Amino acid sequence: MDVVSRNNVTVAGPEDAPVLLLAHGFGCDQNMWRLVAPALAERFRVVLFDYVGSGRSDLTAWSEARYSALDGYARDVVEICEALDLREVRFVGHSVSAMIGVLAAAAAPDRFASLIMIGPSPCYVDSPGYRGGFSAEDIDELLQSLQANYLGWSAAMAPVIMGNPDRPELGAELTNSFCATDPAMAHVFARATFLSDTREDLKKVTVPTLVLECSQDVIAPREVGAYVHAAIPGSRLVTLEATGHCPHLSAPEATLTAIAGFLGNLS
């Protein structure tokens, strides 16, 4: 199995520089890093990829059984580390990938040096004594929104979008095709993301960790950021003056500064 093409892995930056592995969250693919990756690649060996079932990954490698749980996505991360023999990995995970990074670091502790969690949440649904911000009905509504919007996806266009990684202009010509995802696979990823509860896994984090949150984020509200920060001893919490769930798109400069500041202090 060729993990590099399966996960559409792309690498940039000096070969001998420290490794920065950027993992996209639910909803899009490695395109999400486009405003920060070039600047990071000046100082780091930047590794980008798409989870199987997202972006331009090999959709034939997807199985519902594996990708119904976050462990399946964590296996993607570990297998990429193994395929490229990445060591001392600085893992940057957005949204659900922050927790996927926690699971991957627990599975392969010798490969990870630090974690940067952007907008993390270990549990989206409220439960007694815990406020994740959402009810089960809210998640159902999200699943309905997914079903109502194919976002540039159609079974007929899929081979064009997915099959031509060397000709991205083909995909770019299609409206909303940046994050085109097979709706069935997106549905499974959404369920794995929003119905998971990985609060217990936070205890397993042993590497230096940065929790990076936005001041106004519906998906990862500040009390969830505080929860994650408190659950990981020694972690740092940085709150960006930004709205939404994607500071690397809405506030790329501030995001870069926070990442560089954290990694600079470590070295």
Partner 1 sequence: MSRTDPVPDRPKGEATASTDAAFTALLEDSAEELYESAPCGYLSTLMDGTIAKINTTLLTWLGRSREEVVGRMRFTDLLTVGGKIYHDTHYAPLLSMQGSINGIALDIKKAGGGRLPALVSSLTKTDSDGRPLLIRTTVFDASDRRAYEQELLRERQVAEGARRRAEEDRERLQEALAVLQSSLLPAALPPVPGMEAASYYHTASPDRLGGDFYDLFPLDGKRWAFFLGDVCGKGPQAAAVTSLARYTLRAAALHDPDPVAALTTLNTVLHERYAAGDPRYCTAVFGVLEPDGDTVTVQLASGGHPPALVLREDGRADYLPTPGGLLVGILPTAPFTPARTVLAAGDTLLLYTDGLTEARTGDQRELFGDDALRDFAAGLTHTGPQQVITAMTGLLNSFGDGLDDDTALLALGVPTNRPHPVSDTPT
Which residue among 95, 97, 114, 196 is the active-site one? 95
Q: Which is nearer to partner 1, 5 or 145 (CB)?
A: 145
Q: Are 58 and 52 in contact (CB under 8 A)?
A: yes
Integer CA distances (angstroms), 123 to 2, 4, 94, 128, 239, in order: 33, 30, 15, 12, 19
Q: Which is nearer to partner 1, 19 or 220 (CB)?
A: 220
Which residue among 121, 177, 217, 235 is the active-site one? 217
> Among 27-35, 52-60, 67-75, 204-212, which window interacts with partner 1 (CB under 8 A)?
27-35
Site string for partner 1, 213-242 (x = CB under 8 A): ---xxxx-----------------------
Helices 96-107, 70-83: inter-axial angle, 10-degree rounding: 60
Residue 245 known to be catalytic = yes
User: By CB under 8 A, is residue 86 in contact with partner 1?
Assistant: no
* Distance of closest approach, residue 243 Cβ to partner 1, in angstroms: 4
Q: Give the pair of three-digit tokens for residue 239.
A: 């709150």
Residue 248 known to be catalytic = no
User: Do the bridges between strand 236-243 and strand 112-118 make them parallel or antiparallel, or are there none, so unpaired?
Assistant: unpaired
* Interface with partner 1 (CB under 8 A), residue from 11, 59, 139, 170: 139
Q: Which is nearer to partner 1, 30 or 209 (CB)?
A: 30
* Distance of closest approach, residue 36 Cβ to partner 1, in angstroms: 12
Q: Which is nearer to partner 1, 30 or 198 (CB)?
A: 30
Residues 67, 188: Cα–Cα separation, whole Å = 7
Cα torsion angle, 47, 65, 121, 235, sign: negative
Residues 25, 119: Cα–Cα separation, whole Å = 10
Q: Which is nearer to partner 1, 139 or 226 (CB)?
A: 139
Angle at 170 between CA 167 and CA 171, to 5 degrees: 105
DSSP states of 202-214 = GGG--S-EEEEEE
Binding site for partner 1 (CB under 8 A): 25-28, 31-32, 34, 95, 134-135, 138-149, 151, 175-176, 178-179, 194, 216-219, 243-246, 249-250
